[in-house]
Amino acid sequence: MSQITIKDVARQAGVSPSTVSRVLNQGPTVAAELRERVLAAVRQLGYRPNSQARFLRTRATTVLGVIISDITNPFFTSMVRGAEDAASKAGYSVVLANTDEDLEKEQRYIEVAAAENMAGVLLSPASATRTSIALLTERGIPVVTIDRRLQTARVDRVGVNNVKAAQDAVLRLVDQGCRRIGFIAGPTEVTTAVDRLAGYRHGLKAAGLPYRPELVVRGDYRIEGGRSAAHELLGLQPRPDALFVSNNLMTLGAVTALREAGLRYPDDIALAVFDDMSWALGLSEEMTLISQPTYEIGRQATELLLRRVAGENFPPRHVVLSATLH
């Protein structure tokens, strides 16, 4: 007779292997009903855990992976802090990984999370369509996406209403008298970039202004991408009377480009930006600023992930928080 495995116990109990592992290792946040089902399956099958494997599982079952796209982006700093605080409160530790928006690097970290049998993973996917979490779902490791959406799997996610925030920013610029608003968009494969461009277009339509493709230049969510895109827009004739930059690092690049062009905001050109960069620019009162509840995104995403880790079963939940326009 073949040896009984954790997968056999999971199948018998109707739960994931990771839930069985947490019950056997007395992990936190396992629902009482699920715990009893697992223990009943253990008794029925006569399962006896291998001591060495049990030790390895014990090390991993209270660890959450946090895979983010750019560790140099301050947007993620507060988000990770929120995740860490929520995880620590529940008795979990957090391991942070940075993908640099690189799909191959991202996949390697996903493979590590699966191999280490992490309890769960928070993920800011590098691509909505090409990021794959199949290795994690096959092993019963729950995933919650943060900030960005994933179209290759139905999972929980926590973020903000990027469409509305971008639309509101455009309307604010229009209220200030702007009529030719240049937009520095993000990468095509990132859902936040897609949503913010949609919001920009909605804002123009709501204000009765035409959408002009030449006023939209894509960047890469990095500083140099923002600088290059801003220079391209500033070279148009006539020049835009406002720039709307769709993330914080590109804002730093855009401000550099304005200075290089000898332009000042808001005197020569209005500026609207996503994410609080006042600590770097010191001039937030002179721009339209969209601030996101980054700490809350991390905290609520982790709490949602821990519910999955505990074995709760419910349809994929999409938590949409509000951004604030300043």
Give the tens place of pLDDT for each residue, 77-118: 889 999 999 999 999 999 999 998 899 999 999 998 988 889
Q: Which CATH superfamily is domain 162-291 in?
A: Response regulator (3.40.50.2300)
Residue type, 33: E
Amino acid at 116: E
The beta strands (E) that lie in 99-148 are given as: 120-123, 143-146
Give the angle 50-54-60 at the CA atoms, nearest 5°: 155
Q: Indicate the domain borders of the chain.
A: 6-57, 60-159+294-321, 162-291
For the ranges 74-83, 128-137, 234-243, the maximum mean pLDDT occurs at 234-243
Average pLDDT of the chain, as a whole number: 88
CB atoms within 10 A of CB 101: 18
Residue 73 pLDDT greater than 70, yes or no: yes
Q: Which residue has the higher pLDDT, 5 or 303?
A: 303
Chain segment 140-149, per-residue pLDDT in tens: 899 999 999 9
Cis peptide before 213 (omega within 30 of 0): no
Q: What is the reported pLDDT for 280?
A: 52
179: helix, strand or coil: coil
What is the reported pLDDT for 56?
43
> Does 279 or 95 have the greater pLDDT score?
95
pLDDT tier for residue 179 given thresholds of 50, 70 and 90: very high
Low-confidence winner among 30-39, 47-56, 193-202, 287-296 (lowest mean pLDDT): 47-56
Q: What is the mean pLDDT of residues 217-232?
A: 95
Among the ranges 12-16, 49-53, 291-295, 309-313, which has the highest mean pLDDT value? 291-295
**The token pair that represents 266 in the structure block:** 């808001």
Model pLDDT, residue 296: 96
Of 137 and 180, the structure prediction assigns the larger pLDDT to: 180
Please check the confidence at residue 213 and state whether its pLDDT lies above 80: yes
| 90 burial type by CB count under 10 A (0-12 exposed, 13-18 middle, 19+ buried) | middle
| Superfamily of the domain at 6-57 | lambda repressor-like DNA-binding domains (1.10.260.40)
Q: Please report the beta strands in 78-207, taking only residues with DSSP state E, as ranges in sequence order.
A: 93-98, 120-123, 143-146, 156-160, 181-185
State how far the Cα of 218 lies from the Cα of 320, in Å rounded to an integer: 25
Query: 147, 79 in Cβ contact below 8 A?
Result: yes
Mean pLDDT across 258-282:
82
Global pTM?
Answer: 0.78
Over 70: is that where the pLDDT of 26 sits?
Answer: no
Which residue bears the tokens 């990132």? 190
Instruction: Please state which CATH class domain 60-159+294-321 belongs to.
Output: alpha beta
Q: What is the DSSP string of 30-94?
A: --HHHHHHHHHHHHHHT----HHHHHHHHHHTTEEEEEES-TT-HHHHHHHHHHHHHHHHTT-EE
Distance CA 186, CA 225 (A): 9
Structural element, H or E, at residue 260: helix 248-260
Residues making up the chain, counted from first to last: 326
What local confidence, expressed as pLDDT, does residue 54 receive?
A: 46
Is 162-291 the same fold as 60-159+294-321?
Answer: yes
Q: Which of 295, 291, 287 is nearest to 247 (CA)?
A: 291
More confident call, 19 vs 205: 205
Q: Is there a contact between 25 and 54 (Cβ–Cβ < 8 Å)?
A: yes
Checking if the pLDDT of 281 tops 60, the result is no
Can you list the positions of beta strands (E) in the chain?
63-68, 93-98, 120-123, 143-146, 156-160, 181-185, 216-218, 242-245, 270-274, 288-291, 318-321, 324-325
**CA distances to 47, 65, 99, 135 from 190, in Å:** 45, 21, 14, 21
Percent of the chain at pLDDT > 90 equals 63
Residue 285, pLDDT above cutoff 90: no
**For position 41, what pLDDT does the model report?**
85
